[in-house]
Amino acid sequence: MSLTYVEGGVCAPLGFVAGGTRCGIRRSHTKKDLAIIASEVPCAAAAVYTQNKVFGAPITVTRRNLSDGRAQAVICNSGNANTCNADGVEKAERMCNAVAAALGIAPSDVIVASTGVIGQPLNVELIEAGVVTLAPALSVEGAHDAALAIMTTDTRVKEQAVRFELSGATVTIGAMAKGSGMIHPNMATMLGFITTDAAITPAMLDKALRAVVADSYNMISVDGDTSTNDMVSIMANGMADNALIDSEGPALDAFTAALRTIAVEQARLIARDGEGATRLLECNVTGAPDTPTAKRVAMSVISSSLVKAAMFGADANWGRILCAIGYTEGSFKIDTIDVHLESAAGRIQVCADGAGVSFSEETAKSVLQQEEIHIDIDMRQGSGAATAWGCDLTYDYVKINGDYRT
């Protein structure tokens, strides 16, 4: 299937508008902190959520609102997570009510999300006033402002869109995300909002989203902390006029493949923007006994603080990689494992058959000084394969999180 990347983010699909503004939740007097995405018509919708036992009030409300598989708008604020607050659900509902009143839709058709500091009372009156101003200004040019408005410690905007042919129709998928810290499965390791003009039933949309999440958003780690407010949602309004995807088959497979492409790209952007990060790390595992083992090994390596610190120092300390593989849950051998390190500066083998090999430290340092580093692990024990993404661990991570609240 041929995919074309296009501009427009979440507004690239037909029938979607968006916008972002500053309503005053964040202390900054310049940063936007309120975003809305809306469809001209009702949508099939699905979402996946954090598995943290402590979760934000918006999760509770969105789960309820999406119980019928339908939605038409998203509202998200940054600067306050609306988590661990006695009145959190009431305020999340008020956010839905404000959007519903402004757009002329049902409150139950609103996906609500919040991100920021945990345990701080949410000034929902500021959000309600912001909605009154923002809703009339939503436009097809508003995707970038919306993407800016959901950022917290992010340093990079994360928005993309892809276009492809499906059942004789042109279908577009747009996405935006925020995520920089508290990034670790399970699910969804951040906030992600996806839009599409594909015609697809809620059941098939949910199936596609869950399949994609397993290979993208759930295969990244920045710091081993699973956030309380993680969510990835998708709305499909059907305006592309493709034949309705209402069962498994080639059409669902094609849609899922396109969705996976953009989800993987969004996941990579999140990992690259890890708090304080200077390098994107990609761990590719092949030859594992099975795919679940490959996934666990890849995540174990990418999550290791010692591996991450070595990558920051451009130190080819391959023993840390073997150590992280060794404490991974599962049954497999170590004495067949090969490890290579690769980047734009070249490729070097640092381990063969579970033991060290002679290599040039100078060459290795050059390889590890690039912005994107691949840790390639061949277990030579089967056909299982997986890829995970992360980042290096730097001094700045501690600086950012040492005074995040104060």
CATH for 280-402 is 3.10.20.340
Predicted confidence at residue 310, as pLDDT, reads 94
Give the confidence band of 228 by pLDDT, cuts at 50, 70, 90. low
- 25-29, 175-179, 303-307: lowest mean pLDDT where? 25-29
The answer to whether 264 and 272 are in contact (CB under 8 A) is no
Q: Tell me the mean pLDDT in the region 163-186.
A: 81
Q: What residues does CATH 3.60.70.12 cover in the chain?
A: 4-272
CA distance 378 to 14: 43
CA distance 284 to 289: 14
Question: Quick one: which of 274, 351, 265, 285 has its CA closest to 3?
Answer: 265
The answer, yes or no, to whether residue 93 has pLDDT greater than 80, is yes
The answer to whether 346 and 363 are in contact (CB under 8 A) is yes
Q: What mean pLDDT, rounded, does the chain reach? A: 91
The answer, yes or no, to whether residue 297 has pLDDT greater than 90, is yes
The answer to whether 189 and 6 are in contact (CB under 8 A) is no
The answer, yes or no, to whether residue 143 has pLDDT greater than 80, is yes
Does the CA dihedral 97-103-104-107 come out positive or negative? negative
Render pLDDT for 62-84 as a digit per residue (tens, 0 to 9): 999 999 999 999 999 999 989 88
CA distance 15 to 196: 9
Alpha carbons within 13 A on the beta-carbon side of 340: 11
DSSP string, 225-281: ---SS-EEEEEE--TT-PPPB-SSSHHHHHHHHHHHHHHHHHHHHHHHT-TT---EE
Predicted confidence at residue 398, as pLDDT, reads 75
Counting residues of the chain whose pLDDT is more than 70, the rounded percentage is 93
Give the confidence band of 358 by pLDDT, cuts at 50, 70, 90. very high
Render pLDDT for 104-132 as a digit per residue (tens, 0 to 9): 999 999 999 998 888 889 999 999 999 99
Give the confidence band of 226 by pLDDT, cuts at 50, 70, 90. low
> Mind telling me the catalytic residues?
189
pTM: 0.86
Fold of 4-272: L-amino peptidase D-ALA esterase/amidase (3.60.70)
Q: What residues does CATH 3.10.20.340 cover in the chain?
A: 280-402
